[in-house]
Amino acid sequence: MNTPPQFQARQVMQSRLVTIIAFAVAAVVILLTITSLPSLSSDHLGGSMLMAHMAASGALVFGLPLLAVVGFSKMVHPTTSNRRQRFGFWLVLITGWVTIATVFACMLPMFGTEAMHELMWIHGIAGFAMVPAAAVLCFGLVWIRKESNRSSNPG
Ligand code: HEM
Protein backbone atom coordinates (compact mmCIF):
# COMPACT_ATOMS: atom_id res chain seq x y z
CA MET A 1 0.00 0.00 0.00
CA ASN A 2 1.37 3.45 -0.95
CA THR A 3 1.77 6.15 1.71
CA PRO A 4 0.19 9.53 0.80
CA PRO A 5 2.89 12.16 -0.07
CA GLN A 6 1.79 14.59 2.68
CA PHE A 7 2.10 11.79 5.25
CA GLN A 8 5.58 10.94 3.94
CA ALA A 9 6.59 14.62 4.16
CA ARG A 10 5.37 14.75 7.77
CA GLN A 11 7.42 11.64 8.60
CA VAL A 12 10.56 13.16 7.08
CA MET A 13 9.98 16.40 9.02
CA GLN A 14 9.46 14.47 12.26
CA SER A 15 12.63 12.40 11.68
CA ARG A 16 14.67 15.57 11.14
CA LEU A 17 13.23 17.20 14.25
CA VAL A 18 13.92 14.10 16.37
CA THR A 19 17.51 13.98 15.06
CA ILE A 20 18.11 17.67 15.87
CA ILE A 21 16.63 17.36 19.38
CA ALA A 22 18.51 14.08 20.05
CA PHE A 23 21.86 15.70 19.11
CA ALA A 24 21.03 18.77 21.24
CA VAL A 25 20.19 16.49 24.21
CA ALA A 26 23.45 14.56 23.60
CA ALA A 27 25.42 17.85 23.65
CA VAL A 28 23.80 18.81 26.98
CA VAL A 29 24.54 15.34 28.39
CA ILE A 30 28.23 15.76 27.44
CA LEU A 31 28.26 19.17 29.16
CA LEU A 32 26.62 17.76 32.30
CA THR A 33 29.06 14.86 32.35
CA ILE A 34 32.09 17.15 32.00
CA THR A 35 30.84 19.46 34.77
CA SER A 36 30.22 16.48 37.08
CA LEU A 37 33.70 14.97 36.64
CA PRO A 38 35.25 16.78 39.68
CA SER A 39 32.91 14.71 41.91
CA LEU A 40 34.88 11.59 40.90
CA SER A 41 38.04 12.88 42.59
CA SER A 42 36.57 15.07 45.35
CA ASP A 43 33.57 14.43 47.58
CA HIS A 44 30.86 16.66 46.08
CA LEU A 45 30.37 19.16 43.32
CA GLY A 46 30.92 22.76 44.26
CA GLY A 47 31.89 26.23 43.05
CA SER A 48 31.85 27.11 39.37
CA MET A 49 31.49 23.48 38.22
CA LEU A 50 28.29 23.08 40.26
CA MET A 51 27.03 26.39 38.84
CA ALA A 52 27.75 25.18 35.28
CA HIS A 53 26.16 21.80 36.08
CA MET A 54 23.01 23.49 37.32
CA ALA A 55 22.87 25.85 34.33
CA ALA A 56 23.12 22.92 31.89
CA SER A 57 20.62 20.83 33.86
CA GLY A 58 17.81 23.25 32.90
CA ALA A 59 18.43 22.45 29.23
CA LEU A 60 18.05 18.71 29.91
CA VAL A 61 14.88 19.21 31.98
CA PHE A 62 13.45 21.08 28.96
CA GLY A 63 14.96 18.94 26.19
CA LEU A 64 14.05 15.50 27.49
CA PRO A 65 10.23 16.00 27.52
CA LEU A 66 10.54 17.69 24.12
CA LEU A 67 12.35 14.64 22.74
CA ALA A 68 9.68 12.38 24.29
CA VAL A 69 6.76 14.34 22.81
CA VAL A 70 8.24 14.86 19.32
CA GLY A 71 9.70 11.35 19.03
CA PHE A 72 6.98 9.25 20.65
CA SER A 73 4.83 8.44 17.60
CA LYS A 74 7.93 7.65 15.52
CA MET A 75 9.42 5.39 18.19
CA VAL A 76 6.32 3.29 18.89
CA HIS A 77 5.93 2.15 15.27
CA PRO A 78 8.30 -0.50 13.87
CA THR A 79 7.59 0.92 10.39
CA THR A 80 8.94 4.40 11.21
CA SER A 81 11.89 3.44 13.45
CA ASN A 82 14.40 0.62 13.78
CA ARG A 83 15.37 -1.38 16.87
CA ARG A 84 18.54 0.61 17.58
CA GLN A 85 16.63 3.90 17.51
CA ARG A 86 13.88 2.59 19.80
CA PHE A 87 16.39 1.10 22.24
CA GLY A 88 18.36 4.36 22.39
CA PHE A 89 15.22 6.47 22.66
CA TRP A 90 13.72 4.59 25.62
CA LEU A 91 17.12 4.26 27.31
CA VAL A 92 17.66 8.03 27.08
CA LEU A 93 14.16 8.71 28.47
CA ILE A 94 14.47 6.21 31.35
CA THR A 95 18.01 7.18 32.43
CA GLY A 96 17.14 10.87 31.99
CA TRP A 97 13.99 10.51 34.06
CA VAL A 98 15.93 8.79 36.91
CA THR A 99 18.66 11.48 36.70
CA ILE A 100 16.10 14.27 37.10
CA ALA A 101 13.78 12.48 39.56
CA THR A 102 16.60 11.78 42.03
CA VAL A 103 17.49 15.49 42.21
CA PHE A 104 13.81 16.39 42.50
CA ALA A 105 13.36 13.85 45.33
CA CYS A 106 16.24 15.50 47.24
CA MET A 107 14.28 18.76 47.22
CA LEU A 108 11.28 17.18 48.96
CA PRO A 109 11.22 17.27 52.77
CA MET A 110 11.03 13.47 52.89
CA PHE A 111 14.57 12.11 53.02
CA GLY A 112 17.34 12.26 55.60
CA THR A 113 20.99 13.06 54.85
CA GLU A 114 21.95 9.40 54.32
CA ALA A 115 19.08 8.80 51.86
CA MET A 116 19.98 12.02 50.00
CA HIS A 117 23.57 10.79 49.59
CA GLU A 118 22.23 7.55 48.14
CA LEU A 119 19.88 9.45 45.82
CA MET A 120 22.80 11.54 44.55
CA TRP A 121 24.81 8.36 44.00
CA ILE A 122 21.94 6.95 41.89
CA HIS A 123 21.76 10.36 40.16
CA GLY A 124 25.41 10.08 39.13
CA ILE A 125 25.06 6.48 37.87
CA ALA A 126 21.89 7.26 35.87
CA GLY A 127 23.52 10.46 34.55
CA PHE A 128 26.66 8.65 33.35
CA ALA A 129 24.44 5.95 31.81
CA MET A 130 22.88 8.69 29.66
CA VAL A 131 26.15 9.00 27.72
CA PRO A 132 26.03 5.55 26.02
CA ALA A 133 22.22 5.83 25.76
CA ALA A 134 22.47 9.15 23.86
CA ALA A 135 25.26 7.70 21.71
CA VAL A 136 23.09 4.70 20.72
CA LEU A 137 20.16 7.01 19.85
CA CYS A 138 22.25 9.47 17.80
CA PHE A 139 24.12 6.67 16.05
CA GLY A 140 20.81 4.94 15.22
CA LEU A 141 19.33 8.13 13.79
CA VAL A 142 22.37 8.98 11.63
CA TRP A 143 22.79 5.37 10.46
CA ILE A 144 19.22 5.19 9.10
CA ARG A 145 19.71 8.61 7.43
CA LYS A 146 22.73 7.27 5.50
CA GLU A 147 20.86 4.08 4.59
CA SER A 148 17.77 6.02 3.48
CA ASN A 149 19.90 8.47 1.46
CA ARG A 150 21.27 5.51 -0.46
CA SER A 151 17.87 3.90 -1.09
CA SER A 152 16.09 7.31 -1.33
CA ASN A 153 13.49 6.27 1.27
CA PRO A 154 12.52 8.86 3.92
CA GLY A 155 14.40 8.29 7.20
C1 HEM B 1 23.99 13.52 32.01
C2 HEM B 1 23.43 14.13 33.01
C3 HEM B 1 24.03 14.24 34.39
C4 HEM B 1 25.16 13.66 34.94
C5 HEM B 1 26.17 12.73 34.28
C6 HEM B 1 25.24 14.11 36.31
C7 HEM B 1 26.21 13.71 37.21
C8 HEM B 1 26.33 14.19 38.50
C9 HEM B 1 27.27 13.73 39.47
C10 HEM B 1 28.28 12.58 39.25
C11 HEM B 1 27.09 14.47 40.57
C12 HEM B 1 27.88 14.34 41.89
C13 HEM B 1 27.04 13.50 42.86
C14 HEM B 1 27.59 13.55 44.25
O15 HEM B 1 27.96 14.64 44.69
O16 HEM B 1 27.62 12.52 44.88
C17 HEM B 1 26.06 15.42 40.31
C18 HEM B 1 25.61 16.36 41.21
C19 HEM B 1 24.52 17.16 41.03
N20 HEM B 1 23.67 17.14 39.94
FE21 HEM B 1 23.94 16.07 38.25
N22 HEM B 1 24.20 14.96 36.55
C23 HEM B 1 23.43 15.07 35.42
C24 HEM B 1 22.27 15.78 35.26
C25 HEM B 1 21.71 16.60 36.22
C26 HEM B 1 20.43 17.25 36.12
C27 HEM B 1 19.50 17.15 34.91
C28 HEM B 1 20.23 17.95 37.29
C29 HEM B 1 19.07 18.78 37.70
C30 HEM B 1 17.83 18.55 37.38
C31 HEM B 1 21.40 17.74 38.11
C32 HEM B 1 21.61 18.29 39.35
C33 HEM B 1 22.66 18.02 40.19
C34 HEM B 1 22.88 18.64 41.48
C35 HEM B 1 21.99 19.65 42.17
C36 HEM B 1 24.06 18.12 42.01
C37 HEM B 1 24.76 18.51 43.29
C38 HEM B 1 24.66 17.51 44.39
C39 HEM B 1 25.64 17.86 45.49
O40 HEM B 1 26.79 17.49 45.36
O41 HEM B 1 25.23 18.49 46.43
N42 HEM B 1 22.26 16.91 37.44
N43 HEM B 1 25.58 15.22 39.05
32 lies in which domain range?
5-151
Q: How far is the CA of 126 from the centre of ligand 1 (A)?
A: 10
> In this structure, are residues 71 and 134 in contact, taking their beta carbons and an 8 Å threshold?
no
Is residue 149 very low, low, confident or very high in pLDDT (cuts 50, 70, 90)? low
For the chain, the domain total comes to 1
Q: How far is the CA of 106 from the centre of ligand 1 (A)?
A: 11
Ligand 1 lining (C-beta closer than 6 Å): 29, 32-33, 36, 39, 44-45, 50, 53-54, 57, 60-61, 99-100, 103, 120-121, 123-124, 127-128, 130
Q: How far is the CA of 124 from the centre of ligand 1 (A)?
A: 6
Q: Round the average pLDDT of the chain to a whole number and report it.
A: 91
Is residue 143 very low, low, confident or very high in pLDDT (cuts 50, 70, 90)? confident
CA of 131, closest atom in ligand 1: 1
Section 35-42 average pLDDT? 90
Whole-prediction pTM value? 0.89
Indicate which CATH number applies to the domain containing 131: 1.20.950.20
Section 53-65 average pLDDT? 97
Is residue 46 very low, low, confident or very high in pLDDT (cuts 50, 70, 90)? confident
Which residue, 129, 109, 106, is CA-closest to 118?
106
Angle of helix 47-75 versus helix 5-36 axis, rounded to 10: 160
